[in-house]
């Protein structure tokens, strides 16, 4: 097995690696070619059978997609464990919005190699201006093609592993891989928990070894005869139940629309309250809210509200809730939302957060403010790719900006990253629609630029049927 991160030119961290030469260009075409060479070198060694497998978390997973684009002849199997597959859509720009995680990650590594101890041996390892390259290419122009999985070229046996908590970086890549990769030999596992521990758990280790024993050693252990999908179904407060499935999304999914009801809230309800209902309201209603506000520093800020100006002010946007559920409801699969929107300015940012609210009004997933799922869209990026879009997973082109005229009403589809959650009887399904990062954004905050200002308006009901599309699994 070959680890991919250690091949990054000039990025050695340990003492014995500090003198490694070369310019570091993370997730570049050059880096994937380096990994190709390493695979073929290993395969030619006398201690190798000629079959090479790749496994690892995060960086070690991501480059597996990109080297698989090249189809190295000795690459026999891959296990990309929590690794994004599209640098543009999965990591840098969520729905066209810059994720601050990536610049922050880059700066942390840049500082170590430019002003830290490592710089004594090779001060120019990160001289290539990767950060400028990332930020400058804020449309999917083709500049990132070397860091995007070409699914029709990925034919190697694949065990794709995701984490429900990985919304904002890795999860989308793992589910897209299972849906779209050309290989007929593929498995999908999605667990819960931290980014690191499941990889080293006894269960995780066993799953990896069985897959590699079959594809690298030819041991007929039955792993490819088992159902290809293994899911940790979340039931709240860290409780999960493992379940095997035969496909993704699940064939028995009941795709269910929860329509927005934006009629005036009840007298005792918050001013931004709305409802999720099972039938589209006959009359059209709307709700207008400010897109920005004065921050803790006394002025509006283009940067993330929680990074530069404190937490998002209470009541920003709208909060839609279902009635208390009459029975347990399982939601497992990809999600989407359709909204009719307008802005007083040229653009509009949409931050969607699905939450599990218990009977006491508290977050019901893990007992802490951890959201169920998230989705994002900058409205000027609303153009869809009709060949790749699905009703439950819109696919945006991100190749041009369709700016708004003030007050212009447009229909948008928002991709919400996949999830699994059993909403218990008496709980409410809540959808926050906000102009800034909401609860549970953690490290994955976004830079809002100066497009999203003035006021935003959401329309619902009548011909403006705004709704949340949920993958409900019967028999929860």
415-462: pLDDT as tens digits: 999 999 999 999 999 999 999 988 887 778 898 767 778 999 999 999
Residue 366: the pLDDT is 55
Residue 11: the pLDDT is 65
Judge whether residue 271 has pLDDT over 80.
Answer: yes
Residue 309: the pLDDT is 43
Residue 305: the pLDDT is 46
Q: Do the Cβ atoms of 38 and 143 come closer than 8 Å?
A: no
Rounded to an integer, the average pLDDT of 61-66 is 96
- The sheet carrying 97-99 orders its strands as 93-94, 97-99, 446-447
Under the phi-then-psi rule, with left for phi > 0, alpha for psi from -120 to 50, and beta for the rest, what region is 64?
alpha
Q: Do the Cβ atoms of 327 and 424 come closer than 8 Å?
A: no
Residue 360: the pLDDT is 87
Residue 300: the pLDDT is 47
Return the percentage of the chain with pLDDT > 90, whole number: 72
Q: How confident is the model at residue 394 (pLDDT cuts 50, 70, 90)?
A: very high
Residue 116: the pLDDT is 79
Rounded to an integer, the average pLDDT of 1-30 is 64
Q: How confident is the model at residue 1 (pLDDT cuts 50, 70, 90)?
A: very low
Q: What single DSSP character describes residue 313?
A: P
Q: Do the Cβ atoms of 298 and 445 come closer than 8 Å?
A: no
229 strand-pairing partners = 188, 245
Q: How confident is the model at residue 296 (pLDDT cuts 50, 70, 90)?
A: very low
The rounded mean pLDDT for the chain is 90
Between these two residues, 14 and 20, which has the higher pLDDT value?
20
């Amino acid at each position: 097995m070959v680890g991919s991160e250690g091949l990054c030119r000039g990025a050695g961290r340990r003492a014995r690696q500090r003198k490694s030469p070369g310019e570091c260009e993370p997730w570049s075409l050059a880096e994937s070619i380096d990994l190709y060479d390493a695979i073929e070198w290993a395969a030619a060694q006398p201690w190798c059978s000629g079959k090479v497998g790749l496994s690892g978390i995060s960086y070690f997973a991501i480059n597996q997609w990109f080297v698989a684009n090249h189809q190295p002849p000795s690459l026999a199997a891959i296990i990309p464990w929590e690794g994004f597959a599209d640098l543009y859509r999965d990591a840098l720009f969520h729905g066209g919005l810059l994720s601050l995680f990536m610049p922050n990650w880059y700066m942390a590594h840049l500082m170590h190699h430019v002003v830290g101890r490592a710089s004594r041996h090779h001060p120019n390892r990160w001289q290539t201006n990767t950060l400028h390259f990332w930020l400058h290419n804020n449309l999917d122009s083709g500049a990132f093609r070397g860091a995007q999985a070409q699914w029709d070229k990925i034919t190697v046996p694949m065990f794709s592993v995701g984490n429900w908590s990985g919304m904002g970086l890795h999860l989308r890549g793992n589910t897209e891989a299972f849906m779209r990769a050309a290989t007929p030999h593929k498995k999908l596992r999605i667990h819960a928990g931290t980014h690191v521990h499941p990889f080293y758990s006894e269960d995780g280790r066993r799953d990896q070894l069985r897959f590699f024993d079959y594809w690298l050693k030819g041991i007929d252990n039955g792993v490819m005869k088992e159902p290809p999908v293994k899911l940790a179904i979340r039931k709240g407060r860290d409780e999960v139940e493992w379940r095997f499935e035969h496909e993704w999304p699940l064939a028995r999914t009941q795709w269910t629309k929860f329509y927005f009801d934006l009629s005036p809230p009840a007298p005792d309800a918050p001013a931004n309250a709305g409802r999720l209902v099972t039938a589209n309201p006959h009359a059209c209603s709307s709700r207008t809210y400010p897109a920005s506000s004065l921050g803790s520093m006394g002025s509006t800020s283009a940067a993330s509200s929680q990074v530069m100006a404190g937490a998002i002010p209470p009541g920003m946007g709208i909060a839609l809730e279902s009635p208390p559920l009459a029975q347990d409801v399982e939601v497992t699969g990809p999600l989407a939302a359709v909204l009719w929107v307008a802005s007083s300015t040229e653009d509009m940012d949409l931050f969607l957060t699905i939450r599990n609210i218990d009977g006491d009004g508290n977050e019901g997933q893990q007992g802490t403010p951890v959201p169920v799922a998230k989705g994002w869209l900058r409205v000027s990026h609303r153009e869809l790719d009709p060949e790749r879009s699905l009703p439950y997973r819109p696919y945006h082109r991100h190749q041009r900006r369709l700016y708004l005229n003030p007050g212009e009403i447009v229909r948008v589809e928002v991709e919400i990253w996949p999830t699994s959650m059993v909403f218990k009887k008496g709980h409410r399904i809540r959808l926050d629609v906000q102009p800034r990062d909401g609860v549970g954004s953690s490290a994955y905050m976004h830079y809002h630029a100066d497009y999203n200002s003035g006021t935003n308006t959401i329309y619902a009901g009548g011909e403006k049927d705004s709704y949340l599309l949920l993958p409900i699994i019967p028999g929860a």
